[in-house]
Structure 1
Amino acid sequence: MKISVVIATYNGEDFIEKQLNSIKVQTLQPDEVLIYDDCSNDNTCRLVREYIKNNQLASWKFKVNKQNLGYKKNFYQLLRAAAGDIIFLSDQDDQWLPQKIEVMTKAMNQHPELESLNSLIQLIDQASNSVTLPAKPDFYNANFLHSKKSLERLNFFDWEKIIQRNISPGCSMCITKKIRDQFTAWYDYSLPHDWFLNLLAARTNGCGFLNEPLIQYRIHPQNTLGLSADPGSAAKMKKFEKNRQEKIKEFSGLIQAFANITSHLAFEAGKKEHAKKYLHARLNFYQKQNFTSLLKLRSFPEYYETATFKGRIWDIIIASHLKRVFYNL
């Protein structure tokens, strides 16, 4: 069985060597490592070339794109080029624990129904110090993953769960060649690549989560996951509007991706139509932000499965158009 690792880089000079080293010292070595740089204008390219040369890594291949493609297209071409039966996805700024490839490959071999496997992440800061987030009720994996039931070591998620939210960042996942082939045939860039991959795998209940920490996920100032200091009311309003626009973009992309996948693969008709209506209700609420759209959204059980009590109260405030008052308290 051949193992590939694909790494997308862009202006990653601060942490790329740490990530490369964490892959080089894996207890189970990959057969190939593909690194594609998306036209960095810092020292990333030099550092990667020197690392490969100095460590005599003949199976590691580095390429610089002719033009900036963005992370979705960069990962697409990486996955398309990968020759492995199991393919691990990597960002440029995290650190893998030494046994990541070995443990996840063993799990994939022991459970052939798995098509994508995501691992538990540990949060670290820019200095590689551990970071702990306050846990939301029924949320796991640094609040990426929602589950009403306690997690086992290995957990499976069907597409009805994945359609609501993804379960882990793509840098924690590996996939089979089969899912890679479906992805490269149908991916339309409407959704982040990792979410699209998990949706494909979940369709046959092949999307798994391994509740074991195997990657240190680095938090940046622009990626603080709720750890930023409390800003003033004007800054909060600006952040709220940005988040709203991001949600509109997210659910618009999710609707498009789901329509794309269901045009190629068979889904149970009743469940498919229900999922489509739920996604449109989500999008409609973020677009209109009124009581009519909120009541429609609240008619779906999926709303209560992932919305916290605080989140539901906040949605009422939004629908009442009182958010500016609350931000000024």
Structure 2
Amino acid sequence: MVVSVVVATYNGKQFIKKQLDSIRNQSRQPDEVIIKDDGSTDGTFELVEEYIRKNLLNNWIVEKNRQNLGYKKNFFELLKAAHGDIIFLSDQDDEWAPKKIEKMAEVMEKNTEVKTLNCGISLIDGQSKKVKLDLRKNFYNANFLYSKNPLKDLNYFEFYSIVERNISPGCAMAITSEVKDEFIKIYDFGLPHDWFLNLIASLTNGCVFLNEELLNYRLHGENTLGISDDWSATSKIDSFEKDRKDKIVEYQQLIQAFTIFEGRFPKNKKITLKIKNYLELHLAFYKKAQIRTLLKLYTCSQYLETSTFRGKVWDWLVALKLNKFL
């Protein structure tokens, strides 16, 4: 199978060379590497151009967008340009394990039902030193992935189980050309592209997590989503209002995504309608947190199955207005 790697860059000069080195030194070399720079002003584009020229990388290309597109549209354009049967997504500031492409491509070639494959991540700091993180109960993969059941080597996720949260950052993902083609047709630039891709794959039970750490995910000020290890009540209370506003936007985006899926995947219409109804009830609770709106949530099996114990307790505190007292 033909393997592509797509890399999005924007003002990433500080770390980009380590990421490029980790791609260039893979045990299984990609057939093409496509890099799109989103209007960097710090010399990132020029550094990448020189890196390609110096290392005689004839199957690597870099282009600079005429205007800043933002990460969603930049990855959209990258995926449109990719020719591979398997496409690896890459950020500009991580470091890949030497056998990341080899191991993930082998899994996808042997298991043709796999449409998106997400590998495990380990955390590093700005000096590439390992960062230790305490995992929450029933959480894995640097607190990105929630599962009540212990993980196997390969773990399949149906879309009702990833509707609350994605299972891994996009930089840990490889996708098939089939998912890419569907994505290009229907993506609405609402949800993050990686979450949308996993949801598409999950509609045919093809969203999979490989329980092996093959990516060093670099922590710095701009990419800490999903990584926080402060789960105290004080932290939760302090961040409540911002989280509430973010969740309202997120649920609106999810509802729109499932409206799209409803039309594109008629075989799954019954379940997509069910989840869409659940999302609408959850959105209603975030807009107006009351006991009445919370009790409606408890009629949905998705809420009972996918919400954490802490999350349920917090919802009751909010519904009873005790968060303000605390």
Coarse TM-score class (shorter-chain normalised): over 0.9
Give secondary structure in 1 for the equivalent of 2:75. helix
- Sequence identity percentage: 51
1:188 maps to: 188
* 1:325, distance to aligned residue in structure 2 (A): 3.1
**CA deviation string 1:282-308 (max 9, x = no partner):** 111111122222221222222232322
* 1:227, distance to aligned residue in structure 2 (A): 4.1
**CA deviation string 1:65-90 (max 9, x = no partner):** 00011100000000000011110000
> 5 Å matches for 1:101-120?
101-120=101-120
* 1:251, distance to aligned residue in structure 2 (A): 1.0
> 5 Å matches for 1:25-40?
25-40=25-40
**Cα distance in 2, alignment partners of residues 286 and 128 from structure 1:** 39
> 5 Å matches for 1:5-16?
5-16=5-16
Give secondary structure in 2 for the equivalent of 1:12. coil
**Cα distance in 1, alignment partners of residues 82 and 191 from structure 2:** 21
2:228 maps to: 226
* Paired residues of 1:119 and 1:212 also in contact (CA < 8 A): yes
* 1:220, distance to aligned residue in structure 2 (A): 1.8
1:251 maps to: 251
* Paired residues of 1:18 and 1:95 also in contact (CA < 8 A): yes
**CA deviation string 1:17-64 (max 9, x = no partner):** 111111010000001100001111212112211211111111110001
**CA deviation string 1:151-185 (max 9, x = no partner):** 11011111222223211111101111111111111
Give secondary structure in 2 for the equivalent of 1:122. strand
> 5 Å matches for 1:101-180?
101-180=101-180
> Could you tell which deviates more after superposition, 78-87 or 144-153?
144-153
> Could you tell which deviates more after superposition, 193-202 or 94-103?
193-202
Give secondary structure in 2 for the equivalent of 1:246. helix
TM-score, normalization by structure 1: 0.93
Give secondary structure in 2 for the equivalent of 1:221. coil
> 5 Å matches for 1:289-308?
289-308=289-308
**CA deviation string 1:202-256 (max 9, x = no partner):** 111111111011001112224432247999x8x9766322221111111110110
Gap regions ≥5 residues in structure 2: none
> CA 1:156/1:236 → structure 2, altered by over 3 Å: closer, same or farther?
closer
**Cα distance in 2, alignment partners of residues 200 and 323 from structure 1:** 36
Q: How large is the RMSD of aligned CA atoms in angstroms?
A: 2.0
* Paired residues of 1:138 and 1:147 also in contact (CA < 8 A): yes
* Paired residues of 1:164 and 1:302 also in contact (CA < 8 A): no
* Paired residues of 2:275 and 2:302 also in contact (CA < 8 A): no
Give secondary structure in 1 for the equivalent of 2:216. strand
1:50 maps to: 50
> 5 Å matches for 1:205-244?
205-224=205-224, 225-227=227-229, 239-244=239-244
> CA 1:198/1:230 → structure 2, altered by over 3 Å: closer, same or farther?
closer
